[in-house]
Amino acid sequence: MTEIDLWDEKIAAGYDDHARDMFTLEALAPTLDLLQRLADGGPALEFASGTGRVCVPLRQRGVPVHGIELSQPMTDRLRAKISEHELPVTIGDMATTDVHKQFALVYLVYNTIGNVRTQEAQVACFANAARHLAPGGRFLIEVGTPQLRRLPPGQLAVPFQISDEHTGFDTYDVVSQAGASHHYHRQADGSYEYGVHHFRYVWPSELDLMAQLAGLELEQRAGDWDGSPFTADSEKHVSVWRKPLG
């Protein structure tokens, strides 16, 4: 896979701390509830398993989980939390890596489909998910909807968080669908550390076509993990496609 940011040791070392609000069991409960229900007693495969924010507590609920993760440093952080025997992870990219098993559920959370920054690679992610699904299995994606309506004429940036500890904004290229998330994290000495993450934003209808090309059928789309309706004002969606039984 080309055109992807590599999450190195420095990013891995601070990831859990920067995203600590997302690691609480209270915050994760709706996510884990839905994933456990969709797995329905079968095994799950997480694309981009990272430091284990979702897959570790899901495994602790009794769902067998296998991960695919491009970054060894991120996987090293996960490995400090759970053994390889309990939660195996294959190092590789989610568009092409084959773990040679079938799963009841493949899932990809927190905008990670955008980490692969070409349409071709995103299509390949859907094909790889379908390849790993047993008949009747499901592929779930959580992804933000581009907030282009918030862009005033002539402006390229949309803020998504402003606080004493963190300021973040997204910039968009509406021609190429390329975007970048810019982060300023306040340090203990009062200075700020800057980081940037590149992505390719993708529309729900575009994802549905990728699913169709992979032989998957849309089963449900919600505005969040709690099942709230997806509307024109939704800032993200949680979508599920199913592999036909026949």
Report in angstroms the alpha-carbon separations of 2 from 42, 70, 96, 115, 157. Answer: 32, 12, 11, 10, 25
How far apart CA 73 and CA 51 sit, in angstroms, is: 9
pLDDT at 61 over 90: yes
Going by C-alpha positions, the residue among 31, 200, 173 that lies closest to residue 105 is 31
Quick one: pLDDT at residue 1? Answer: 43
Give tens-digit pLDDT for 154-209.
Answer: 888 888 889 988 899 889 888 899 989 898 988 889 898 898 888 999 999 999 99
pLDDT at 147 over 90: no
Arithmetic mean of pLDDT, 34-39: 98
Report in angstroms the alpha-carbon separations of 188 from 98, 185, 193, 235. Answer: 43, 10, 11, 32
Q: What is the pTM of this model?
A: 0.87
DSSP assignment, residue 230?
P
Give tens-digit pLDDT for 121-141.
Answer: 999 999 999 999 999 999 999
Between 216 and 15, name the one with better pLDDT: 216
Mean pLDDT of the chain: 90
pLDDT at 72 over 50: yes
Residues 26, 30, 31, 33, Cα dihedral to 10°: 110
pLDDT over 70 percentage in the chain: 91
Going by C-alpha positions, the residue among 30, 35, 31, 57 that lies closest to residue 45 is 35
Arithmetic mean of pLDDT, 81-102: 96
Give tens-digit pLDDT for 5-33.
Answer: 565 666 655 655 666 666 588 889 999 99
User: Can you tell me whether residue 208 is helix, strand or coil?
Assistant: helix
Quick one: pLDDT at residue 2? Answer: 43
Arithmetic mean of pLDDT, 80-89: 96
